[in-house]
Amino acid sequence: MNPTAFRLAQRTSRLTPSMIRELMKLMGRPGLVSLGGGLPSADGFPAEPLREASQRVLAQTPREALQYGTTEGLPALREWVAQRLLQRGLAIHAAQVLITSGSQQGLDLVAKLLLEGGTQVAVESPTYLGALQAFAPYEADAVEVACDEAGPLPERLHEVADARALYLLPNFQNPTGRCIPQARRVQIAAQAQALGLPLIEDDPYGDLWFDRAPPAPVAAHWPQGTVYLGSFSKILAPGLRLGYAVAPAPVYDLLVQAKQAADLHSGMFAQHLVVDLLHTGMLDTHLDDVRARYRLGRDAMAQALHTHMRDLATWQVPQGGMFFWLTLPRQIDAARLLPLAIEQGVSFVPGVAFFATTPMHHALRLSFVTEPAERIAQGVATLAQLVRRALANQSGQAQ
């Protein structure tokens, strides 16, 4: 007999636990060198400016900040987003900006509008695990577009032309750290437009560059065919749960209705807080600080990898964002290495988590923003030892 009265919808069979969230439970071990988490550095959160902003908001506009609000979001915040995107090379109107509860909600809402059973959504290989999770309950099949180290190959887009959309992460991708060059962005947009393949552009890391800002968003090259998603999580703090979606008119109206059904609107208090904070003009200095902090982590990891792993793995040094992506020798299964690594006091995320259909077992993702330089070096040294040992064991077994 059914032990519960609940009869679950078919789509629940598509829900998947996030491997990363599962790992985070193990990663609570004291002393563990955490190269596995995907969280921004809490040392860089603007806690004091936020405390001051919250005092001002509660003193000056408590009735508005604590009241229900419009689904689209606070006009001043939408205006700020439009101005900011203009500076980044994407000219849009504030009327096209929908404030969301993180860009993760943007992914869910777009999926709700576009996907259903029997359809496909195209993704990069590898891609952001949280997007695969967001798309899954809408019962479309995720298919991978062929990629190289600069991102999706424009000449291969026709292979996924039947998909309802192509999900793209052009800036410092999670998990690979790769950044799609300007010329490739133009080609992808042109090819997608020619194929009638809409784009979902997810850009939470675009402001986290180290030497030079990334090129204009792909959306700038095909605004009518792109839903662009942004976030305050990596530039201010993820606990605010604020992001935004920018969409062409007919899709925009449906996104607003889908959001209204989901949560009426994003938190008004957080929106007022962020508007107040942004109007103080603190963001540029704050971002300089975050970039400097993350660049130190990137340099420490690049150095440690060069010292300990140059004969064991290949990688690209990321020019922004939070992650290195390592390709190990083919015979190493990163998921099997992980329990040993945790035993030895270091964590990472096995690459297999980030693939929709054709996983790479011999890859892994390392975050360089959680630990200080000495511990990054220690963690990478431990990892190198483990890989060396695994290779030695395997060649021993082979003999």
Ligand X SMILES: Cc1ncc(COP(=O)(O)O)c(C=O)c1O
**Residue ranges in contact with ligand X by CB under 6 A:** 38, 102-104, 128, 130, 169, 174, 202, 204, 231, 233, 238, 243
Q: In sequence order, what are the residues at sequence separation of 6 or more whose Cβ sits closer than 8 angstroms to the Cβ of residue 113?
A: 251, 254, 255, 258
User: Are 52 and 201 contacting, i.e. CB atoms less than 8 angstroms apart?
Assistant: no
Smallest distance from ligand X to CB 17, Å: 16
Q: In sequence order, what are the residues at sequence separation of 6 or more whose Cβ sits closer than 8 angstroms to the Cβ of residue 182?
A: 215, 216
Smallest distance from ligand X to CB 381, Å: 27
User: Are 223 and 251 contacting, i.e. CB atoms less than 8 angstroms apart?
Assistant: no
Smallest distance from ligand X to CB 4, Å: 31
CA distance 163 to 170: 19
169 vs 313 by CB, closer to ligand X: 169
Smallest distance from ligand X to CB 203, Å: 8
Half-sphere exposure of 24 (CA within 13 A, CB side): 8
CA distance 205 to 8: 36
Structure tokens at 99: 């404030």
174 vs 382 by CB, closer to ligand X: 174
Smallest distance from ligand X to CB 163, Å: 19
Smallest distance from ligand X to CB 185, Å: 17
71 vs 266 by CB, closer to ligand X: 266
Smallest distance from ligand X to CB 103, Å: 4
96 vs 266 by CB, closer to ligand X: 266
328 vs 369 by CB, closer to ligand X: 369
169 vs 189 by CB, closer to ligand X: 169
Helix axes 249-263, 102-114, angle to 10 degrees: 110
190 vs 287 by CB, closer to ligand X: 287
Closest CA to 387 of 266, 267, 305: 305
Smallest distance from ligand X to CB 263, Å: 13
Nearest residue to ligand X, by Cβ distance, number only: 102
CA distance 72 to 257: 10
- The beta strands (E) that lie in the chain are given as 33-34, 97-100, 120-123, 141-144, 147-148, 151-152, 166-168, 199-202, 226-231, 243-246, 323-327, 346-347, 349-350, 363-367
96 vs 127 by CB, closer to ligand X: 127
Closest CA to 355 of 364, 344, 346, 347: 364
